[in-house]
Amino acid sequence: MITAVDTNILLDVLLPDVGHQAASLSLLHQATQEGSLVVVDVVASELGAQFPVLSDMENFLRSVSIALLPMSLTAAHDAGQRWRHYLRHRKGGRERMVADFMIAAHALHHADRLLSRDLGFYRSHFKDLHLMEP
């Protein structure tokens, strides 16, 4: 089983978030036991803001057994189409960045599930995406 990991889970481990760190670590461990872990380019970019030195980021990803799996053109197109639909139909509230759609589309096309704490968004805009819930 391939599990794509969202940035929020990794930040829980890195920063550490007292309210979420234990659960996120446990879920990462569980997902590792069930298969492999991957991140999309945009998650790696968001994560990169926490590491002034590239080798430190590489070491962190290696320590939690996560590989970078680039996004296909098919997944990128899917993300763009869903983002466009979202922008046309949103009624006020928080505006989502295309990065959120890229993370979900990558998981949908390149993994078996997504590990994230942002479940409401993914449930409403990616009903066909399997989620690993904290």
Which domains are delineated in the chain? 2-132 (3.40.50.1010)
What are 16-44's pLDDT values in tens digits? Answer: 778 889 999 999 999 999 999 999 999 99
Look at residue 91 in the predicted model and tell me its pLDDT: 63
Look at residue 93 in the predicted model and tell me its pLDDT: 57
The CB-based long-range contact list for 17-23 (8 Å cut-off, 24+ gap) reads 20/117, 20/134, 23/134
Model pTM score = 0.91
Task: Give the closest residue to 110 by CA, choosing from 127, 132, 129.
Answer: 129
pLDDT of 90 higher than 80: no
Tell me the Cα Rg of the chain.
14
Residues 6+ apart with CB under 8 A from 16: none
